Structures are given as C-alpha cells and as structure tokens.
Amino acid sequence: MAIKVIKDQCVSCGACVSTCPFGAIIMESDNKAFITEACTACGACIDACPVGAIIREEEEKTAAADKDQYKGVWVFIEQVGGQARGVGLELLGEGRKLADALGQELAGVIIGDKVEHLAKEAFACGADKVYLVEGPEYKHYNTDAYTIAFTDLIQTYKPSVVLLGATNDGRDLGPRVACRVGTGLTADCTGLGIDEQTGLVAWTRPAFGGNIMATILCPDHRPQMGTVRPKVFKRPVPDYSRTGEIIRVPSKVKPEDIRTKLIDIIQVCTASCNLEEAEIIVSGGRGMCAPENFRLVEELAEVLGGAVGASRAAVDAGWKPALHQVGQTGKTVGPKIYFACGISGAIQHLAGMSSSDVIIAINKDPDAPIFKVADFGIVGDVLEVLPILTEEFRKIKQA
C-alpha cells in the first residue's frame, strides 16, 4: 500500500507536514504537499488531512513466478585467484541435502578466468552439474560483470534455490541478483531445511540481536535465495571419483557494462586475520585489558600458525580492527582449535565460534559463560597464562 496526495484537492494547509512522524512530507514550490521516499505508509497524514486529499493507494503487485519452471539447487562457488573459497564447498554439502530432499539436481556456479579446474572440486563435494562462465573480465570480482553473468544464468536455466556465501563478495552479489530477477533474499542464514507443509526451503537466521531465530519462507517468487556465513556448515569429505556435466556459458558482459576499473590490489590483511579459512584461531577479549597486551595473543597465534581473532568489546575499544571480529556481528568461524582469551562468552560471540571442533577458554572468572561451551578451561589471569602457553608450544615445535 502507498500513500498518495491528490493535488487538486490539497488546500496547502500543511497539517500533514507537522503530523508526519518521519518528516516524509514537504511542501513543493506550488505549495502542494509532496510525499518523499522516507514515507513508511503509516497513515498518520490521512487522518490529519482536513479535506481528504491524502489517500492510501494499493500498489500493483508483481506477478508471482511460474514455480513449475524452476528446478534445481545452485551453489555459487566463490573463487579468489583461481582457488575456491571454503564457503562454496561447505554449501555444496548442505545443498546436496536440500537437492536430495527436493528430488532435484545440485549444481555449482563458477565464474572467473581460467577456473575450469574448480569443477573437479565441485563434483567431489556433491555437485551433479557445473555452470561455468569464463573470461578475463571475471579474473577479479567485479560487481557489474558478476551480476550480469549470474542474472543471465538464472533467467536462462531457472534454478529453484540459490545459495551464496555471506562473504564481502557474496553480500554484494546476492542482493543485486535477487533484485534483478525479482525475488527475495534471506541473509546470514545459520540453518537450512525443508518446510514439511509447503515443501519450500526454510531459511533460519538470528533476529533481534540473536534473541530469537526466525524461519523465513519464499512462497511466491523464484529462485529462493539466501546467503550463509562461512564455517556455519562443515565441508563435506570430497569424493574425487565423482564426475558431472560442465555447462560452458559464453560471457554476455560488454566493456561498457563495467563501470569500475581495478587499478591495484593492496594487501591490507595478512594470514593472521584470514579467520574463515584458519584451522587455529586465538581470540582476545576485554580481559586483555589493553591494546598492547594483544601482542600475547598474536605471539601464540604466530607460534601455532593460526589467525588472530577478537571479541566485539575489543574491536569497539579500538584494540583490533573489525576484520578480526568474531561473533554474530563479525565473522562466523569453525576452526579445529579456538582459543578464547579473556572472553566472557556473550551469546553474540558464541554464535560466531561455537561450531569450533575444540574450544580452549582462559578466564579468571570461573563462572564465565565461555566455560559452558569450552572443551578445556583454564581459570587464571590471561596475561600470565598466555606467555606460559606460548613458551610451552614453542618448545614442543622445536623438539
């Protein structure tokens, strides 16, 4: 429903301007009321107008998609430098479950330059098909080029479900493609399933700061699209004996379609903050007490060959950049070993690391919530414990 001003009936009294709680109504040069994009259609102005010049008008609904034309589950295999990012392979494992439950095929979508070799990885992780779009214009991720290619694939082959990683690129690509094909997108999902009553994909994601879990369905439009954070699901064990069909799709991107040009790539983050791919993460929280104390976290991570993480409290305090943040508002990780150093264990932080294989907590408060999820706990001053741990691990490696 939309709010509309009937210009011929407007008497320029301004009652609607002062009544609008969102400041969404202005008086134009002709001294007639005009409703801006800030309008939320609350209807307060309708009751305030003394002459009935403001009405609620029903907008024309977009026609629902012919759902019978859409078949198959697709997973976008994100790649950087010709190497597949882990989240795409993780989603193939979950996509396999969805495809089997729906009785449909699972396909991987690979866009890049000279990346056909990644099809073998996709087949090994469960894909039946791979849609391959190659060209020099796809060597590095580009919003315009990738959006055009992915949109064309969906409009041509009509998948029923599309999964993307909730990475920087996936969060940029997913909404743009969803808008162009006229469907919705559920972001940052933590669970996927099939709704028994409707047969639709049930997308589960945290809402209201993680206080509730919302399950979202997309009944009227196709494809059903969603993004999933890295490490939410485990990567399937690859079976390299599997093979499948590669469908090569020619590029439809023209030079004039690309509005930006990549000048240079600047390495702003070393391996120490590559949290999504790390097998060992050492994270620090408010218990580190000061930014200079994070060197203890960094030293342990360096000895173990791991990445450095941080809680939101540490990031908000300016002790570490946001690239290091683990948690609901940061990165979701699932390493083999996760060290929680001086982290109390707020629910928002646990949401980002509870899927780790082994959790080791260090905290001087024996009642800290982090110990409830930890496999091993050390009660003590983290500033005293970390140097001892680092030295012992260093001795073991030297031996």
354 pLDDT more than 90 = no
Total domains, the chain: 3
Q: Which among 225, 257, 289 is the end of a domain?
A: 257
Answer yes or no: is 347 within a domain. Answer: yes
312 is in an annotated binding site: yes
The CATH number for 14's domain is 3.30.70.20
Residue-level pLDDT at 30: 85
Residues 76 and 19 in one domain: no
349 a known binding residue? yes
The answer to whether position 263 is within a domain reads no
Give the three-state DSSP class for 319. coil
Digit-coded pLDDT (tens) for 71-80: 999 999 999 8
Q: Which domain holds residue 111?
A: 67-257
Q: Is 221 labelled a binding residue?
A: no
Whether 282 and 239 share a structural domain: no
Residue 151 sits in a domain whose CATH number is: 3.40.50.620
Give yes or no: residues 35 and 71 share one domain. no
Query: In the predicted model, is pLDDT for residue 372 greater than 60?
Result: yes
Tell whether 82 is in a known binding site: no
Q: 213 and 72, same structural domain? A: yes
Average pLDDT, the chain: 89
**311 contacts 319 by C-beta, under 8 angstroms:** no
Task: Tell me the β-bridge partners of 325.
Answer: 310
- CB crowding 29-61: b at 16 or more within 10 Å, else e: eeebbebeeeeeeeebbbebbeeebbeeeeeee
pLDDT given at position 64: 58
Answer yes or no: is pLDDT of 270 > 90: no
Residue 197 annotated in ligand binding: no
Residue 90 and residue 161 in one domain: yes
Burial of 304 (0-12, 13-18, 19+ CB in 10 A): buried
Q: What is the pLDDT of residues 141-194, one digit of tens each?
A: 999 999 999 999 999 999 999 999 988 899 999 999 999 999 999 998 888 999
Q: How far is CA 103 from CA 73, 193, 217, 235, 283, in A?
A: 10, 14, 19, 22, 42
Whether residue 22 lies inside any domain: the answer is yes
| Packing angle, helices 294-304 and 382-398, rounded to 10 | 20
Helix (H, G, I), strand (E, B) or coil at 73: strand
Say if residue 329 carries a ligand binding annotation: yes
Q: Is residue 62 part of a domain?
A: no
Using the predicted structure, report yes or no on whether residue 286 has a pLDDT greater than 90: yes
Tens of pLDDT, residue by residue over 356-367, are 889 999 999 999
Question: Do 178 and 292 share a structural domain?
Answer: no
Q: Do residue 20 and residue 115 come from a single domain?
A: no
Does 32 fall in a domain? yes
Q: Are 326 and 352 within 8 A, CB to CB?
A: yes
211 is known to lie in a ligand binding site: no
Q: Is 283 labeled as ligand-binding?
A: no
Answer yes or no: do 216 and 249 share one domain.
yes
pLDDT at 303 over 90: yes
3 state SS for 295-316: HHHHHHHHHHCCEEEECHHHHH
Does 71 share its domain with 52?
A: no
The arithmetic mean of pLDDT across residues 275-299, rounded, is 91
Whether the pLDDT of residue 63 is over 70: the answer is: no
Question: Is there a domain that residue 80 lies in?
Answer: yes
83 in a labelled binding site: no
